Amino acid sequence: ANDVYKYNFPSTPLWAKTIEGITLKEFDRLSFDMILMSPPCQPFTRIGLQGDVSDPRTKSFLYILDILPRLQKLPKYLLLENVKGFESSSARNVLLQTLATCGFKYQEFLLSPTCLGIPNSRLRYFLIAKLHQEPFSFQAPGQILTRFPDQDPEGLLKEKVADEVGETSSSLSSEEKNRDPNIGPDCSSKKSIPKGAFLFKLETVEEMERKHNQDNDSSIQMLKDFLEEENKEMSQYFLPPKSLLRYAFLLDIVKPTCRRSTCFTKGYGHYVEGTGSVLQTAVDVQLESVFKHIDELPEEEKLLKLSTLKLRYFTPREIANLHGFPSEFGFPEKVTVKQCYRLLGNSLNVHVVAKLISILLE
């Protein structure tokens, strides 16, 4: 991560040391105006152990909270990002207590890039805080806003958050028992799921309806606006036969004309299930025609059918595009594709953060 940062910002000073290794005296010497932080999310993620403040990885964050009230000059602004789940953690309670002690006004959010028209679900917790000033004009004490203030003054679009939570959840759920075997999704422009459509994936009816609604939401851009041109080098991103056979029914398959993609995690390109969407590059092939009765076929024929979809992973550049990284952003040559995916999976959406910073500085 430090190598990539140096590569893109060669003139920015960078300390290769842990946060806990920076003393109060060194912090005072920096005399900074703003803290932007994204503490390790593993203690709070919904699929982890949820160790919260007892997880050693929370140490750096708790150290900052301990240092903050003791600084000679408090920073004027603070922005924090973490996973959904942080809002119900003990660490968040310590954060809010510290902010109150120091005299900060703050507002919390749960936001996804989809609210800016970006076709990628990445629901995250954000907090913005400013020191000794008037409260934010839109401040909603005790509420976590789910939209930017200029989009929804009340910020209570709970349905949208419910959609995003569903989008980033595991493919397999307790609702599997209630599946309708006659319904199946596709990225078509139809307003509702066609009757008699074929269920080819392990999804609930609700999940399918959500995906159809997303693909018909013209306020969100199509994925094709974020894709690289297909070329010979793309061959390295196509799913290997073994993955196709093993995970075909668990993949979230999208076409360039879709207006959605699931959250890309650091395991993308390495693990298949639940790490992010895959792209169907054979756009004229219908998913239903491939998946219908596929379980009845011998392995060789099954693979032949699945191969017609020409499924590939999104490239690191394409994920960077969806994250809002500018075209001039790049990776040093020595950084492997796997490392690129890991870094991007741990990253955040630039457009969402930029908008929050502009609101913070207004």
- CA dist 288 and 197 (Å) reads 8
Compute and round to an integer the Cα radius of gyration of the chain.
22
DSSP label at residue 312: E
- CA dist 213 and 187 (Å) reads 10
> Could you confirm whether 258 is annotated as catalytic?
no
- Amino acid 343 reads L
Note whether 260 and 211 are within 8 A (CB).
Answer: yes
- CA dist 213 and 189 (Å) reads 9
Calculate the alpha carbon distances from 274 to 164, 267, 269 in Å: 14, 9, 11
Calculate the alpha carbon distances from 299 to 244, 253, 282, 288, 293 in Å: 11, 21, 21, 18, 13
- State both tokens at 92: 């968040």
Nearest to 72 by CA among 30, 38, 40, 114: 30
Note whether 65 and 95 are within 8 A (CB).
Answer: yes
Question: Which of 41, 258, 263, 340 is flagged as catalytic?
Answer: 41
Active site residues: 41
